[in-house]
Structure 1
Amino acid sequence: MLYLNQTDPHPGPGATPVTGALLRRRTALKIAAAFAAAALALTGCQQAASDQGPGTRVAAGTPVEGGTLIYAEVTPINNWQTQSARFYEKANVLNSVLDRLTYFDPESGDLVPWLASEFSANAEHTEFIFTVRPGVTFSDGTPLDAAAVKANLDSFGFGIPAAQIQPNVDFAGYTSSEVTAPDQVKVTLAAPNSNFLRATSSVTAGLVSPATLGLDAAGQSALSRISGSGPFVFESEKPDEEVVLAKRGDYAWAPETSDNQGAAYLDRVVIKYLPEVAHRAGAVQSGQVDLVRGLQPADEAALAASGSQVLAPAGTDLTSNMAAVRTGSGRLADPQVRRALQLGIDRQSIKDTVLSDSYTIAASVLNHGAPGFVDLSAELAYDPEQAKDLLDDAGWTVGADGIREKDGEKLALTVTSSNNSVVIKPAFELIEQQWRQIGVQLKNRAADNTFLATAMPDPAVELFGTRQFIYGGLGPIFEPDNNTMTHTSDPALNELFAAERAAGPGPDRDRILAEEQRALVLEQAYSLVLWDEVQVYGAGPDTHIDFTSGTAPIFQGAWTAGS
C-alpha cells in the first residue's frame, strides 16, 4: 500500500516534488494539533511509571551517548541477502544496516525523503524521478550516487541472475532506470503502479554498495560482506548465537522526520537469539537483555508489574494475521464454504482466551491503522448458525462423526504456519474447536516449521496462517498464478489490484481499496482474518526505543539510561 494521509509524494507533471521543507509545512498543523494530546500522554506515563500496562513505555528524556544495547531475536538467520528480507529476524537487523530511498513515518503517516532528497511521479504512475541526497557514502567508502541507486533499482526490478537472486516482488512492471543527472535517477514501469514509491521504503529495497551487488549468492548472503549506508555496520558474528553491530560515527543522513539526525547514540547493538519463548520475559527482568521480541501474552502483565516495559508496535506495513485460503485441494473452491469458515470464527473468544490487551481483533485484511482500512467487523460477527446454513446449501452434510461430507469426502482441512508468532498455534487450537461445532475438522499444524517446509508448495494443504508485508499492495500476495501462499488467482480480484495500482491517492483509490477488502474478506473470503498484526516486545525500564511501521526497532535513535 502507498500509506498516505494528506500528502501526495508523487505529484503529476508540473506539481511540486516532495522535499523536506514542503513536508514540514504540510504536517505542521497535524503536529501542532497532536502536541497537547502527546503532552498529556507523557504526563500520564510519568505518573504511572510504577504501574505500567501493555503498550506503555518510559517517559522521554535526554538521550544518553554510548553503551551497548542487547537485543534478543527469536531465531538465527544465516542468509542476509537484502531482497529476501521479508522475515522479522532479518528485517529487524538489516533495518539498521541498510538505508532506503524513502521512509514511511509512522507518526505522521507520510512517505518522506531519506536517501532521495526529492521524489516525484508522473500522473500515470509509470515514471518516477529520485534526486539522490548528496554526501552519502556506503560503509566501504564508495559514494551513494545516482549510478549506485540505478544499479540497486535494476537488481530489485530484474534480480541478479548470476547470483541466483530473484526480482523484488514489489517492483512489478519495472522496465528500466536511467541516470538523467549526476544526482538524479528516472525509473520507468511497463504499467501504472502507484505502490512503487511505497515499495522503495521497504527493507527489501535497502541499498547496498556496487561491490556488494557484484558478489555471488554466498557473498550477498553474508552479513559481514554487505556494505550499506546505515547507521550501524557489521562488527562480528558467532553463528547461531549472536551478531554484533557497531556504530558508524560519520552517519549523518537519517530520515528527515527522525529526532536523531546524526550518528547513533549507542556504540553497539548485540543481537542474541532466544528461541525459547518462556525465557524471554525473564531475560528482560534479570537484565540479561535490554529488549526482546516475541513475548507470550501470559508474561506481559508480570513483566510490566516488575517495572519493565511491554511495547506493542502495530504492523501497519503488514496484513492482519489471517488464515490465507489455498484452494488447490478443491475442498475450499466454493466461496460459500469459505464464508462459512469466516463466520465460524469467534474472534472475541480468541482475544479473551489466547491473546492480551496488546492485540486488536481484526476487522479487515488491513490493520486498523492502515490508510484505506475499512471496518468490516459487523459482517464478521461470530454466527455459527449461518455458517451451518451456508455449508448445508453448499451440499456438505453432517456425517455420523459430526464432520461434514460431500461426494464421499470429509470436510477436513489442514493449516500450516511458521513458529514466528507465539500465539498462532493456540489460536488455531481454539479455531479447531469452533469449527468442530459447524462440522469442519481442522488439522492444526501451525508453528510446525518442519511441516511448513513441505506444506507450502503442496496445494492439498488448505490454510496458511500468516501475515504478509504489503509494500507493493495486496496484489503481490493474492494475485500471482504461482503463489504458494494462496494457490489461487482470481481474475476479478486481479482487475481490482490493477485498478488500485493505476489510481493515485484520493477517493477513487480508497473506493478500490474498500472493494478489495470486501472481496478478500467477505464476498470471496480468501482471507480468514484473525487479529491485527502487532509484535510484542519486552524492554528494560531504562531502554528508550521507537519502532518502524513494520515493527522493526530503530536502533539509530535508541539509548539506555544505564549505559
Structure 2
Amino acid sequence: MSSFSPAKFVSLAAGVLALTACSPGAATSDSGPPRPGGTLTIAVGSNPDCLDPQQAGTNASLNVGRQLVDSLTDQDPATGELKPWLAEKWEGNGDSTSFTFHLASGATFSDGAPVDAAAVKTNFDAIKALGAKALLGAGYLAAYRGATVLDPRTVRVDFSAPSAQFLQASSTMSLGLLSPSAYRKTAEERCQGDGLTGSGPFVFSSFTKNSDVVVVKRAGYNWGSSLWRHHGEAYLDRVDYKIVPEPGVRTGSLLSGQLSATTEVQPVDEKQFQGNGFTELTRPNPGFVFSLQANVTRGVLTDERVRQAVDKAVDRQEVADTVLSPNYKPATSVLASTTPFYTDLSAELAYDPAGAGRLLDSAGWVPGPDGIRVKDGGRLSAEVIFAPVFNQSQSVLELVQQQLRKVGFDLRPAPRTATESLQVQQTGDYDFLWYNTTRADPDILRNFFSTKARNLGKLPAGTPLDDALDRQAAASDPGTRGPAAEQAQRLIVEHAYAIPVFELTQVVAVGPTAHQVAFEASSRLQLFDTWVSGS
C-alpha cells in the first residue's frame, strides 16, 4: 500500500470517484484463510480527545482504546448477553449490591504485571477517584463502595446501593483494565498515551496530534474474549489510525488505495462504497440518541411549554431524509431502538408545528417583526453548544434551526472543540447541549439525567425521574427493570428535558484488502480478528 498523502489524493479524487460503481456491497472475504501480518491503515475524523479509555468519550478515542484494554466481561452484539473475557465466571448477591468475579489465569499487562484481583481493585478505585474526568465510568461506579481481594484470582466489587447495571458496565472499555503502573502517570499523561499499559491484543506505540495514532500487536497475547473468532495473538502487526478531518479526503484516499478503511463515512459518500470490491459496514449505536438536552434553569427553557413546543416543531423524518441517509433512523425515543428496554414513543414525538404554536401562544410568546416570537421585550431564543465530532452535526442543527424558525423560535448553533464542549458541560453555562452517548444499556440515561449523577439538565432533586432511574439501575429482574426504564424514557420526553432528533449509525467503509473489521456491542471497532491481504 502506498504511503498516505492527502495532497496526492486531491489530484486523484475526481477520477477515482467517477470510476466507482454504486452497486450492492460485496463481502470482504478472501479465498484463503486469514493471514497474520500487515498494517491496517484506517482514517478517523477527529483528533482523539484522550487515548485513555477510562477517560475518553469520543468515537475517535474509543476506537483506539478498545484495542488496548481487555474487560472483565464481553457483551454479544447480537443478543446483548454477557460472555466471559478476563473473568471466566461471576455472580451477584440478591440485591445487586455485590458482585464477585473469578478471573481466568495467565493474562498479563504489557509491562508483565499479572491481571489479578489486586489490579482490578486498583483500576476501579482509580476510576472512581477520577470523578468527572471518567466521563462514562464515573456513572457506572456512582455507588461504588470498594473492591475486596478475596484471593489472587477472585475479587468482590461492592456498592452502597443496588447496581444491577454494573454487570453490563463491566464489558465496556470505560471499565477496561490498565496495569497498576499506569497510575504512576497523571490522568493528563495517560490521555496522551504515556503509561497507557493495558492487557489488550494491541499495545500503544505513538500519538502525533492531528496526524496519527499507532498501535502494534501484543506478542504472546492468548486470553481474548470468548466471542472472538480465533485464539492467540491478533492477526495484524500494526494499526495506523490516520486523523483526517475532511470527509472528502477520507473518501478519496480509501478509493485510491491509500487507506485500508475509513470511519465516519458521510451520507453523501455512502454509495461510493457499495460494491466494486468495497464493503460498507453499518451498525446503529445503542444508547442516548443525538438530542438537544435542555438546561431547565436557563432562560426561555425554564418554561416546560417552550421545551415541549421545540419538541413538536422538530421534523425528525425530514432530518433523516435531507441531511442523513437511509442508514440513519429518526429518533423514536431518547434511547436508540437497538438499546435493551427501548420504548417506542414515536407518537409522542410526532411532528406537530400547529401544536407547537398553540403551546407558545399559551406561554405568552407572540410573533415579532422578523418572525421570531417575543415576550416582555425578550426574544424566544436559545443557543446550542456542540462539538463537531460527527461531521453532519452542523448541517443537522442548521436544518433544525430552519424548522424551529417556522414556529418563531431562534436556535443558535455554537460550535466548540470537544475539550471546550466538556468544559462548558462542567460549568453549566449553556442553554442546549447537542450530543449522543453510546451504551448498550438503558442506564446511560441515569448518567446524564439523574440529580445524583452528571445531571446535565440541572433538574431539581426528588423528581419522579430520579426514582425511575434509580429503580432501573437497581433491578436485575427484567420484569421490574423494563417498566422502570420505560417510565424514565416517557418522563424525559413528556417534560421535554431532551429533544431527541436521530439515532447515530456507525458507517465504516472497508477496502478490498481488509477483512473481518467488526463492531463490538457498543458499536466501537473490534480489530482482533481483522486481517489484511495483498500488503
Q: TM-score, normalised by structure 1?
A: 0.85
Q: Deviation digits for residues 367-414 of structure 1, max 9, x if unmatched? A: 111110111112212110011111112222222322112232211111
| Shift in Å, 1:57 | 4.4
Equivalent residue letter for 1:552:
R
**Distance across 2 between alignment mates of 1:341 and 1:295:** 30
Correspondence for 1:74:
45
1:263 to 220, 223, 233: 233
**Distance across 2 between alignment mates of 1:306 and 1:446:** 37
Alignment check: 8 A CA contact 2:145 2:158 kept: yes
**Distance across 2 between alignment mates of 1:279 and 1:444:** 26
**Distance across 2 between alignment mates of 1:534 and 1:358:** 7
Correspondence for 2:531:
559
Q: Deviation digits for residues 56-97 of structure 1, max 9, x if unmatched? A: 743586322211100111222364334212221211111001
Q: Deviation digits for residues 334-373 of structure 1, max 9, x if unmatched? A: 2222111111111111111100122111111111111101
Correspondence for 1:518:
490
- Secondary structure at the aligned position of 2:114 is classed as coil
Q: Which of the pair is proportionally richer in strand?
A: 2
In structure 1, runs of 5+ residues without a counterpart are 1-48
Alignment check: 8 A CA contact 2:49 2:419 kept: no
Correspondence for 2:409:
440
Alignment check: 8 A CA contact 1:327 1:459 kept: no
| Shift in Å, 1:52 | 4.5
- Secondary structure at the aligned position of 1:65 is classed as coil
- Secondary structure at the aligned position of 1:258 is classed as coil
Matched, 1:188 2:158: yes
Correspondence for 2:73:
102
1:476 to 440, 447, 451: 447
**Distance across 2 between alignment mates of 1:292 and 1:475:** 33
What pairs up with 1:329-408 in 2 under 5 angstroms? 329-408=298-377
**More moved, 371-380 vs 231-240:** 231-240
Correspondence for 1:126:
97
- Compared CA separation, residues 299 and 160, structure 1 to 2 (3 A): closer
Matched, 1:279 2:249: yes
| Shift in Å, 1:237 | 3.9
**Distance across 1 between alignment mates of 2:507 and 2:374:** 41
**Distance across 1 between alignment mates of 2:42 and 2:70:** 20
Alignment check: 8 A CA contact 1:157 1:175 kept: no
- Compared CA separation, residues 185 and 444, structure 1 to 2 (3 A): same
Correspondence for 2:431:
462
**More moved, 250-259 vs 542-551:** 542-551
Equivalent residue letter for 1:88:
N
Alignment check: 8 A CA contact 2:22 2:272 kept: no
**More moved, 234-243 vs 385-394:** 234-243
| Shift in Å, 1:225 | 2.1
| Shift in Å, 1:277 | 1.8
Equivalent residue letter for 1:347:
R
Correspondence for 1:414:
383
- Secondary structure at the aligned position of 2:374 is classed as strand
- Secondary structure at the aligned position of 1:328 is classed as coil
Matched, 1:537 2:508: yes
- Secondary structure at the aligned position of 1:366 is classed as coil
Name the Cα RMSD after superposition.
2.4
**Distance across 2 between alignment mates of 1:257 and 1:68:** 23
What pairs up with 1:186-335 in 2 under 5 angstroms? 186-316=156-286, 318-335=287-304
**Distance across 2 between alignment mates of 1:60 and 1:519:** 50
- Compared CA separation, residues 448 and 346, structure 1 to 2 (3 A): farther
Q: Deviation digits for residues 490-532 of structure 1, max 9, x if unmatched? A: 52211111111221131211111111111112x1111211111
**More moved, 80-89 vs 121-130:** 80-89
Q: TM-score, normalised by structure 2?
A: 0.89
| Shift in Å, 1:314 | 1.8
Equivalent residue letter for 1:439:
G
Correspondence for 1:31:
none
**More moved, 239-248 vs 344-353:** 239-248
- Compared CA separation, residues 276 and 169, structure 1 to 2 (3 A): same
Equivalent residue letter for 1:313:
R
Matched, 1:504 2:504: no
- Secondary structure at the aligned position of 2:488 is classed as helix
Equivalent residue letter for 1:274:
V
Correspondence for 2:465:
493
**Distance across 1 between alignment mates of 2:419 and 2:411:** 19
Q: Deviation digits for residues 246-299 of structure 1, max 9, x if unmatched? A: 111311111112112221111111111101122111111011111111222111
| Shift in Å, 1:236 | 3.5
| Shift in Å, 1:129 | 0.4
- Compared CA separation, residues 85 and 460, structure 1 to 2 (3 A): closer
- Compared CA separation, residues 218 and 480, structure 1 to 2 (3 A): same
- Compared CA separation, residues 92 and 448, structure 1 to 2 (3 A): closer
| Shift in Å, 1:198 | 1.4
Matched, 1:174 2:130: no
- Compared CA separation, residues 457 and 145, structure 1 to 2 (3 A): closer
Equivalent residue letter for 2:501:
L
Equivalent residue letter for 2:84:
P
Alignment check: 8 A CA contact 1:416 1:451 kept: no
**Distance across 1 between alignment mates of 2:156 and 2:292:** 39
Matched, 1:115 2:86: yes
Equivalent residue letter for 2:404:
W
